[in-house]
Homo-oligomer: A and B are copies of this chain.
């Protein structure tokens, strides 16, 4: 990762200082002074997002208050060829909001209003800085909610969710951001306002809405999002199944799906994750288990009862050593508590951890879990697994100590190897965290040169000057040839 990233120039580099002062002056002709942050202590909080191993101070941080101001900022930056990195809450995990040292960070935090809530039409029109959970809170009075629920949903914004096509525990049944957004208004690299999508299921012309969602701020600046709202299901119950073998738990996942049951959530934790969570939160998890599955079923009472019965039978037949069914909301919340606190729980038992994100076909679960353990042993590192099993979205947590010489490098190597394992079994290098700067190298493994060229061509169709979030998402051919020359074990199967 960081081995390839060239170090940026220091904040007080004289040339940077001069262009900073000049650009700030130009921005302040139409923005209030306080909306342009130019001092080092002001811009420092923007130097990284949730992937804190990468840090870079931006030239300036700009905080417009409305769409008109966003357009003015973009027109100015376009005129002067200044790179622009959009930023929501900065909770991203792949470095997608990492600043560019010679460009501005455009924070959408002040565009934080819910513009309309239409319960009959099952939709809400919101500004990009609205927090994910705030939408569901506003819709709750009408019995509605916004389905995608990334684990950062208290903090993360809908604009960031659009950038990363965020998912969450419930996306197996309710889909990712792309399945729950109806329309977007964006400001183009040149400062023009463009509308994508609409309330209809389909629209004429190319599906630029779907193309835009998940494009990591590289095609435009999101200034308004119309989201689909769903009626809150009348009932949800959770099952907790213990297994004495990780592979058997993985196989059970495939059997539930193949039986035609679509759980609202189907999560898996392995032994190390179970024990870390239990030590931390005391959710009553079976600490001797090699793996647990958490399966949530929602719908009407009759529907849930029928599905609970079917899943119980399937789990028992798949070799579960114990199956519990939540009796009430308190118990359901307790089942989830351990899962929800798994990341901080792992943080307690290891000085550092690195959360990976890859996706595999469900049928490959047992094999990938086995090979993950083998690779961890080869790299002399421990891995805890906590993930969205139902949709094959893995989140191996590599435990390490950055203060021990060589451990960060071994962690990076293992992380890269695990992502490439996902590609080998027919999966992908990201499930919901995006590529950002973190996975540029693995993009060279996932895609052919022809496919990467196609991505660049599409990018140019939106941003010919390459000013929007440069250096993210899609590697240059040069970057790929550098990556391929890296010493093993970053990608040992190539050597």
Q: Which of A97-105, A127-135, A439-447 contacts B (4 or more CB under 8 A)?
A: A439-447
Q: Are the CB atoms of B167 and A431 closer together than 8 Å? A: no
Q: Are the CB atoms of B432 and A202 closer together than 8 Å? A: yes
* A119 CA to B260 CA, complexed, in Å: 11
Closest A-B pairs by Cβ, 6 of them: A231-B260, A210-B210, A302-B302, A200-B359, A457-B461, A303-B303
Listed by A's residue number, 6 A-B pairs whose Cβ atoms lie within 8 Å are: A202-B430, A205-B446, A205-B447, A206-B214, A206-B458, A206-B459
Q: Are the CB atoms of A458 and B306 closer together than 8 Å? A: no
Minimum C-beta distance from A438 to chain B (A)? 11
Q: Are the CB atoms of B213 and A207 closer together than 8 Å? A: yes
Judge whether A120 is part of the interface by a CB distance below 8 angstroms. Answer: yes
Q: Are the CB atoms of B205 and A211 closer together than 8 Å? A: no
Q: Mark A447-462, 1 if CB is under 8 A from B, else 0.
A: 1001100110111111
Q: Are the CB atoms of B461 and A460 closer together than 8 Å? A: yes
Contacts of A305 in B (CB 8 A): 302
Minimum C-beta distance from A140 to chain B (A)? 14
Judge whether A487 is part of the interface by a CB distance below 8 angstroms. Answer: no
Contacts of A367 in B (CB 8 A): none
Q: Are the CB atoms of B450 and A192 closer together than 8 Å? A: yes
Judge whether A477 is part of the interface by a CB distance below 8 angstroms. Answer: no
Judge whether A122 is part of the interface by a CB distance below 8 angstroms. Answer: yes
Closest residue of B by beta carbon distance from A460 = B461
Tell me whether A391 and B201 are in contact in the complex, defined as CB-CB below 8 angstroms, given that A211-B211, A363-B120 are known contacts. Answer: yes
Contacts of A392 in B (CB 8 A): 199-201
Tell me whether A214 and B208 are in contact in the complex, defined as CB-CB below 8 angstroms, given that A306-B302, A431-B201, A457-B461 are known contacts. Answer: no
Contacts of A391 in B (CB 8 A): 200-201
Contacts of A435 in B (CB 8 A): 204-205
Judge whether A427 is part of the interface by a CB distance below 8 angstroms. Answer: yes
Q: Beyond the given A202-B432, A203-B359, A303-B303, could you list 11 further A-B residue pairs with CB under 8 A, ordered by the A residue number? A: A194-B454, A199-B361, A204-B429, A205-B451, A206-B458, A208-B455, A231-B260, A300-B306, A300-B307, A302-B303, A458-B458
